[in-house]
Structures are given as structure tokens and as C-alpha cells.
């Protein structure tokens, strides 16, 4: 994007990140915002574009919960469903799997709503980056049925690749559960250092183990 204007950095935080706590963004700047739970994905994307204005986006940091599922070996701990584990996963290990999408706004970020991010294509700098600080966003989990009957497929890498392709920006996301830095007295939140390995997803569909620190 060759506007000649300064690239901006933006942090967006999902409201409802903590129950009954109205969070604020630490050292909130004019390009940071809290996403209301009533916002659709189109609303979120439009807000990002509106805040950026004519300025290109250098980095967009997204802080929200990832959707996870607790498995006791090959058994869904929530409803006893027998799971087909991803390759390499042990039936003897209990763990939380991710890769099922992110909880933000009314709809969440998933394989259906990610297409709304195409409205931001061309709005990032050539080295623009989306940093996803959500638990296990790049994980691969077994397909499972929720208590409400929804079938979720845990393919975090596919979702992150789709997000990168939609925005035209590279995406960084983690495999493991993450931590946010919170001040309970001030009700503020910000991202901390990534926990565990991260992957870099590029608009051309490539995925590489990340060696840089973000």
C-alpha cells in the first residue's frame, strides 16, 4: 500500500474476555479498541478499517479466547464421545485441543466468518502482520460434537491460512494455551510473550515454524 502515510499498529480485545469484568486495554492508544460482544465479524472488520483510515496497517494484534476441547485420552471429557485423535496424539495423555476458532464478537472467527476479512485486503503494509493472541489458535484438534449438537473441526492451521489469504498479511499464531497480562485493580489487559511454539502463515498458503519473537 503506497499511501506515503505512517503505518499504524492496532490492538483489539474481545469484550467478555473475563466474566463480569469490563476490561480496558493497557495504555490504550487511538488505534486500539474493545470489541463489543454484539458486533458481527463485518462490524469488527469495518471498525478496523475506519480506525485505520487512509493509513496502512503495520501490525494488528488480536486478543481473545480460543475455542478448546478437553480430552481424556481419546474421550471427550464433556460428553464421553470417542474421538479420532490427530496423527501423533497419544491416547494416554489428557490435554486441551484447540484450532476450533476464536471467540470475538457475536459470531466468532471461524471458517465461515473469516471471509469477511477480505475487506481489509490491501490495507496492510507489504510486511504487515496479524498477531493472534488466542489460545491454541494454530493447533489441530479432533472433530467433536458440542453439547448443543454443533460439529466442530479443529483445523487451526487452515483457519490461520484463510485469515492470511483474506487480509493479504502474514499471520502469527500459537499452538499452545496462551496468557494475557492483566491488572485486576485497573481492569486492564495486554498480550504477554507467546507460550510455546508459534507458526507464521503467509498469504501464499505457506506455513513455517516461527523463529522470530513477537
Q: What pLDDT score does 58 carry?
A: 98
Q: Of 93, 189, 87, 185, whose CA–CA distance to 134 is shortest?
A: 189
Question: 43 CB contacts (<8 Å, ≥6 apart)?
Answer: 105
- Whether 140 contacts 156, CB under 8 Å: yes
Question: Which ranges in 18-155 belong to alpha helices (H)?
Answer: 41-52
DSSP string, 168-201: TSEEEEESS---EEEETTTTEEEE-PPPS-EEEE
In whole angstroms, what is the distance from residue 98 CA to residue 86 CA?
Answer: 12
pLDDT along the chain (214 residues), means of 10: 78 82 86 95 98 97 95 92 90 94 96 97 97 96 87 95 98 94 85 93 94 67
DSSP string, 92-112: T-EEEE--S-EE-TTT-BSTT
β-bridge pairing 180-183 and 188-191: antiparallel
Helix (H, G, I), strand (E, B) or coil at 150: coil
- Whether 134 contacts 173, CB under 8 Å: yes
Predicted TM-score of the model (pTM): 0.92
Q: What pLDDT score does 6 carry?
A: 92
The domains of the chain are located at 8-66+99-209
Q: What pLDDT score does 1 carry?
A: 45
In whole angstroms, what is the distance from residue 132 CA to residue 198 CA?
Answer: 10
Amino acid at each position: 500500500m503506497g499511501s506515503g502515510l505512517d503505518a499504524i499498529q492496532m490492538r483489539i480485545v474481545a469484550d467478555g474476555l473475563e466474566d463480569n469484568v469490563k476490561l480496558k486495554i493497557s495504555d490504550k492508544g487511538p488505534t486500539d479498541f474493545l470489541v463489543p460482544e454484539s458486533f458481527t465479524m463485518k462490524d469488527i472488520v469495518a471498525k478496523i478499517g475506519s480506525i485505520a483510515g487512509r493509513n496502512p496497517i503495520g501490525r494488528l494484534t488480536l486478543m481473545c479466547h480460543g475455542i478448546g476441547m478437553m480430552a481424556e485420552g481419546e474421550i471427550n471429557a464433556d460428553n464421553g464421545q470417542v474421538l479420532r485423535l490427530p496423527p501423533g496424539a497419544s491416547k494416554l495423555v489428557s490435554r486441551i485441543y484447540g484450532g476450533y476458532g476464536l471467540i470475538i464478537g457475536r459470531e466468532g472467527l471461524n471458517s465461515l466468518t473469516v471471509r469477511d476479512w477480505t475487506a481489509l485486503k490491501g490495507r496492510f503494509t507489504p510486511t504487515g502482520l496479524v498477531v493472534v493472541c488466542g489460545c491454541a489458535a494454530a493447533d489441530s484438534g479432533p472433530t467433536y460434537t458440542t453439547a448443543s449438537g454443533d460439529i466442530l473441526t479443529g483445523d487451526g492451521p487452515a483457519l490461520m491460512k484463510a485469515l492470511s489469504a483474506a487480509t493479504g498479511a502474514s499471520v502469527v499464531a500459537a499452538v499452545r494455551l496462551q496468557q494475557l497480562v492483566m491488572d485486576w485493580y485497573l481492569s486492564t489487559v495486554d498480550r504477554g510473550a507467546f507460550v510455546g511454539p508459534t507458526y507464521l502463515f503467509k498469504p501464499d498458503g505457506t506455513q513455517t515454524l516461527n523463529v522470530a519473537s513477537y
